[in-house]
Amino acid sequence: MKKEISIIGVPMDLGQTRRGVDMGPSAIRYAGLSERLENIGYTVRDEGDIKVEIQERAQSDSDTNLKNLQDVAEGNEKLSQKVDEVIQANRFPLVLGGDHSIAIGTLAGLAKSTENLGVIWYDAHGDLNTAETSPSGNIHGMSLAVSLGLGHPALTNIGGYSPKVKPENIVIIGARSLDQGEKELIREKGIKVYTMHEIDRMGMTKVMEESIAYLKERTNLVHLSLDLDGLDPDDAPGVGTPVMGGISYRESHLAMEMLAEANIITSAEFVEINPILDEHNKTAEVAVALIGSLLGEKLLYGAEEHITPDLLAQVK
């Protein structure tokens, strides 16, 4: 079986209020994503972009503090359907954001195929807020909570079911900016989190070894949701919510390489690239390099057997 990847762009910037992140998919494509993947042996199909309504300014829902609720929900419903379509075609979904609210639709599309979807949330933030705990009303800070079944029904019921993921099937890596409500939810649900303290103290190798072993024990498929603000702003400056003291470029490559060697990732998304805030498309180029490592690119060898027929068959 050929190793087949479907690229899905989601030019969504409605999950937050800083404009520009809707150009992220174009920036990643411009940085040579398809060519890079083809060079390491993949067959790449670019599915184009999910149509997202353009708003002049953030619209707050009249009954909640959630911004652009209806448009975010509609965009994610379309994404959910597209991801499910790609899964049913036995292809690897590679989703390009857009802000991190698009993870709502990605996970909704993926979880239709398994009751034990695993999620690696590579991010400076937990994205575990709800309308009651969010200080901003920005839905990109709620996407993981929504996927746990917590939040507005217009979001939690995308795909026609809820929840999409179990708390014990999540690993957050790189957290260093958590709101109080998120901290309480993490403790309440027992979500596994490696903050920057653990990464600094244990080293990325140990963090990834533990994360891989943990998810292998309890999940069937594993999705990587990588927010570029998980990296330090020196390495990835083009993000809307940068947080100092993040994961380094080299540590991130190591993490991706270890995931490739473990052969557990069955889908991925890369989000929150804002070309307006970037330096000569640096952050998009970082994303493309990390995607290459995730999918098996090595200094001396190609992807080899990263996405095997057996792994793809698990999706069906």
Binding residues for Mn(2+): 100, 123, 125, 127, 227, 229
Active site residues per annotation: 100, 123, 125, 127, 140, 227, 229, 272
Terminal-residue alpha carbon distance, the chain: 14
Do the Cβ atoms of 215 and 169 come closer than 8 Å?
Answer: yes
Distance CA 9, CA 22 (A): 10
- The β-bridge relationship of strands 192-195 and 221-227 is unpaired
User: Please, where are the H alpha helices in the chain?
Assistant: 24-30, 33-39, 69-88, 103-110, 143-147, 153-156, 180-189, 196-202, 204-218, 249-262, 282-294, 309-313
Per the annotation, where are the binding residues?
100, 123, 125, 127, 227, 229
For 222, the enclosing helix (H) or strand (E) is strand 221-227
List all residues 6 or more positions away from 65 whose beta carbon is below 8 Å from its beta carbon.
Answer: 131, 134, 137
* Amino acid at position 278, single letter: D
